[in-house]
Amino acid sequence: MNILLLGYGKMGRTIESIAKSRGHNIVGKINEDNTADLVKYTGGNADVAIEFSQPDAAYENIRYCIENGIPVVSGTTGWLEKKPEIEALCQEKDGTFFYASNFSIGVNLFFKLNEQLAGLMKDFNEYNVDIEEIHHTEKKDAPSGTAITLAEDIIKSIDYKKKWINKPFGKKEDLIINSLREGRVPGTHTVKYSSAVDDIEIKHTAHSREGFAKGAVLVAEWITDKKGVLTMDNFLK
């Protein structure tokens, strides 16, 4: 498979190494300094694009792919206010767009566990729930996309939480996401229910970026013959 990498930073490099080990070719690597080269690529010479860039670049990269017939797998976080526009464009152009806030299989199991725990906890108002996410100091966005997914799934079940906020303190109706930036941490997420007498915690700790990158390559292999707006739920089925 011929893969175009949009964003060749920490994730782009890890994806390159996994993709090559699975027999794929990297036909292009686009970073901030060579975005003009993007016009060289179309659905004729790139079977799929894998997009891990930065919040202010994702929309234009994904739009280019959809308009030029390249199926695109994106994991960039911090740009999601524009995702509905991309989804509409994908439908209009009969394109292929896959987005996940986290491509790791472990995190996607953790998402399911989070949904189940929220379902169990919904009638126990003596507990307060909050989220902590820890990432490396180079991360550009806060809260993490993964923490937002966790928060949105909790708010669907827990009536006393009305919205998430990215602050260490808030009212009971606010689901706190506390974002910490430390050293080279690849990504740690904790959901904690606390009462006066006990705490219940679930936690996912990534040991490296390999889980995210392998998930993105597996999805890229899977989507090349598919159309539409696709998610991890479609892939994992």
Ligand X SMILES: O=C(O)C1=N[C@H](C(=O)O)C[C@H](O)C1
Report, as residue numbers or ranges, the catalytic residues.
Answer: 135, 139
Within 13 A of 230's CA, how many CA atoms are on the CB side? 25
Quick one: which H or E segment has residue 214? helix 210-223
Q: What residue type is assigned to position 72 of the chain?
A: V
Tokens representing residue 199 in the block:
């705490």
Total residues binding ligand NDP (CB under 6 A): 27
Does 65 help bind ligand NDP (rule: CB under 6 A)? no
Residue 101 within binding range of ligand NDP, rule CB under 6 A? yes
Q: By CB under 6 A, name the one of 59, 103, 110, 111 that touches ligand NDP.
A: 103
Contacts of 103 (CB under 8 A, 6+ apart): 75, 211, 212, 213, 214, 215, 216, 219, 232
Phi first, then psi: what are they for 204, rounded to 5°?
A: -120, 130
Asked if residue 7 binds ligand NDP (CB under 6 A), the reply is yes
Please tell me whether 145 is known to bind a ligand: yes
**103, interface contact from ligand X, ligand NDP, none, CB < 5-8 Å by kind:** ligand NDP
Out of 3, 4, 57, 232, the only residue in the binding site for ligand NDP (CB under 6 A) is 57
Secondary structure (3-state) at 187: coil
Query: Is residue 106 close enough to count as binding ligand NDP by CB under 6 A?
Result: no
Q: Record the tokens describing residue 215, joined without a space.
A: 């998930």
Q: Which residues, other chains included, contact 88 with Cβ-Cβ below 8 Å and sequence gap of 6+? A: none
Q: Is residue 188 part of an annotated ligand binding site?
A: no
Distance CA 16, CA 32 (A): 18
Beta strand 72-74 with 96-99 is: parallel
With CB atoms as reference, the residue minimizing the distance to ligand X is: 187
Q: Smallest distance, Å, CB 146 to ligand X?
A: 3
Q: Which residues would be at the binding site for ligand X (CB under 6 A)? A: 77, 101-102, 135, 139, 144-146, 187, 212
Q: In terms of Cα–Cα distance, which of 102, 81, 79, 82 is closest to 90?
A: 82
Distance (Å, whole) CA 81 – CA 9: 23
Minimal distance in Å, beta carbon 102 to ligand X?
Answer: 5
224 assigned binding-site residue: no
231 is in an annotated binding site: no
Q: Which stretch binds ligand NDP (CB under 6 A): 16-24, 73-81, 90-98, 123-131?
A: 73-81
The residue among 110 and 193 lying less far from ligand NDP, judged by its C-beta, is: 110
Task: Tell me: does residue 143 bind ligand NDP (CB under 6 A).
Answer: no
By CB under 6 A, name the binding residues for ligand NDP: 6-12, 30-33, 35, 52-54, 57, 61, 75-78, 100-103, 138, 212
Binding-site positions for NAD(+) read 75-77, 100-103
